[in-house]
Structure 1
Amino acid sequence: MFERITEATFDEIFPLLENNFPENELREKERQKAMLQEPLYGLYGTRRDGGFAAVFAAWEIADFLYIEHFAVKEEYRNGGYGGKLLDAFLAEKSRPTVLEVEEPEDELTRRRIGFYERHGFVYNGYPYLQPPMRRGQDVLPLKLMTKPAAIDETTYKRYKKLIHSNVYRYEGDL
């Protein structure tokens, strides 16, 4: 169901990432492609009607899975397809999961948080700053959602430190 993306299929799937994430939440194309060499990182796609319909970018860090990106092509949204894919992906990985979301400031961000909550994620209110994805950008205020349960402050700090150092190569204290 999930095809591991390689350098040969990267150019086919990158537009799905590019069309679904703002510039401050996505690396430049060549830097994103270079991530395929990272041992903890995996980029996965699922095909429908001859092309990629969804993409997952995930990191298997220590004892948890960190989902960096998840996107479904627009024509396949709002019919349960994305939820089925998310559930199947998480079942396949079978480990506690962490992802970042924007704060619930408008209808779209509230709907996104609601989607993840319907699939077993819990919104954690700890202050979280995402290090810049591209040079010259500022930090991005986000929140962490976790599955299967909320996390305590000690676990939050451990997850944040591991995500920042492995994913963003950031060693400072945000």
Structure 2
Amino acid sequence: MLSFQPKNIISPEVIELYEAAFPEAERRPLPAQQRLLREGALQLLEIREAGHFVGFIFCWALTDFTFIEHFAIDPVKRGRGTGTKVITLLFEKYGRLVLETEPPRTIDAQRRIRFYEALGFGAFPALYLQPAYRAGGAPLTLILMQKGMFLQEHTFTKVSNEIYREVYGL
């Protein structure tokens, strides 16, 4: 059985998977990540199955949705339905979910988008730029996807503005 264990310190298991699963441009530096956890703004949920670490979620409880900033499953557990179970449990627990994903330029990105679409996520039809995590870095063109919300322009504007303000400090 899967469970979420809230943590306020980033474990070595999470660090290893975080650095393996996301390129540097898509990761917040670890000291900043740890500071946000200590302040209570950011939440870290370690995903466990039968007591064993299988992944993590970094997320933000925003006004009326939960923003999934980073989500990764141990490569050994991928392709076995673990990710589907995690997102299903997360939706049952928190309701409306929003996340960022890459545009469908690569096979992996296309696979990831199909995974989220199969779970009921839809892409907002507007351009979304993720601000750079590091000074001097370029913003990334991403797709903002949601589950449990409307795909209307005013919803996108409200959601993206809140993410920019709360998550990226803009």
TM surpasses 0.5:
yes
Q: TM-score, normalised by structure 2?
A: 0.92
Deviation string, structure 1 residues 118-162 (Cα, Å, up to 9, x no partner): 111002221010001122211000011111244211111111110
Give distance in 2, aligned partners of 1:109 and 1:150.
23
The one-letter code sitting in structure 1 at the alignment partner of 2:135 is R
Superposition deviation, residue 59 in structure 1 = 0.6
Matched, 1:46 2:47: yes
- Mapped to 2, the partners of 1:124 and 1:38 lie a distance apart of 30
Tell whether the 8 Å contact from 1:5 to 1:43 is kept in structure 2 after alignment: yes
SS in 2 for 1:108: helix
Describe the shift of the 1:157–1:73 C-alpha distance in structure 2 as closer, same or farther (beyond 3 A): same
Structure 2 residue 96 is the aligned partner of structure 1 residue 99: no
Q: Tell me the amino acid that sits aligned with residue 2 of structure 1.
A: F
Structure 1 residues 51 and 33, CA, compared in 2 at 3 Å: closer, same or farther? Answer: farther
- Does residue 1:11 correspond to 2:16, yes or no? no
Aligned to 1:29: 30
Q: What is the distance in 2 between the residues matched to 1:123 and 1:38?
A: 31
Corresponding residue for 1:113? 113
CA RMSD of aligned residues (A): 1.5
Q: Normalising by structure 1, report the TM-score.
A: 0.90
User: What's the offset of the Cα at 1:91?
Assistant: 0.8
Runs (5+) with no aligned partner, structure 2: none
Tell me the distance in 1 between the aligned counterparts of 2:168 and 2:149: 25
Superimposed CA distance per residue, residues 54-102 of structure 1 (whole angstroms, 9 cap, x where no aligned partner): 1011111101111101100000000111111111122111x21111111
Change (3 A) 1:56 1:168: same
For the Cα contact (< 8 Å) 1:59–1:66, is it kept in 2? yes
The whole-number CA distance in structure 2 between the counterparts of 1:50 and 1:16 is 17
Structure 2 residue 162 is matched with structure 1 residue 162:
yes
List gaps (5 residues or longer) in structure 1: none
Shift of 1:10: 3.0
Correspondence 1:123-138 to 2 at 5 A: 123-138=123-138
* Distance change >3 Å, CA 10–CA 35, structure 1 → 2: farther
The SS at the match of 1:3 is strand
